[in-house]
């Protein structure tokens, strides 16, 4: 999981996305210690193995460049089967998908606010919160 920790992603959006990711991991039976979390804004700050998404200590708060997080995750050996990117989508993207890994982009946003596009090579999922 590559988590966007830039200043524009607030705790409410991350909390919602983490809950959904934990549910998905439980449903497909992924062992808890096999989940790596990359904390990334304009740089990759930490890489941690966690049992639940919420166990990750996230750092950042600057600009956003998810290309760096995707590159770091795709360079990991053994290679990840799936890279999940949690972001508000306001970021540049790699021109081509990371080799050997499927990419799911979870775009975080508020209901009624148009979300930025994601690359055509990624599976897009939207997590929307009511602003009220």
Digit-coded pLDDT (tens) for 18-43 = 787 777 777 766 655 567 889 999 99
Contact 103, 122 (CB under 8 A): yes
- Compute CA distances 126 → 32, 93, 106, 108, 115, whole Å: 24, 17, 6, 6, 9
What number of H helices and E strands is found in the chain?
2, 6
Domain ranges of the chain: 2-129
pLDDT at 71 over 70: yes
* Cα separation, 132 vs 129, whole angstroms: 9
* Cα separation, 23 vs 19, whole angstroms: 6
What global pTM score does this model have? Answer: 0.87
């Amino acid at each position: 999981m590559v988590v966007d920790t830039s200043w524009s992603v607030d705790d409410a959006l991350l909390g919602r996305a983490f809950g959904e990711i934990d549910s998905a991991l439980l449903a497909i039976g992924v062992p808890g210690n096999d989940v790596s979390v990359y904390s990334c804004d304009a740089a990759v700050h930490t890489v941690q193995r966690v049992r639940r998404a919420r166990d990750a200590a996230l750092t950042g708060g600057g600009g956003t460049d998810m290309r760096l997080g995707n590159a770091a995750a795709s360079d990991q050996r053994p290679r990840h089967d799936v890279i999940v990117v949690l972001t508000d989508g306001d970021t540049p993207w790699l021109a081509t998908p990371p080799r050997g890994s499927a990419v799911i982009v979870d775009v975080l946003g508020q209901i009624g606010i148009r979300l930025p596009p994601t690359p055509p090579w990624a599976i897009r999922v939207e997590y929307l919160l009511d602003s009220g």
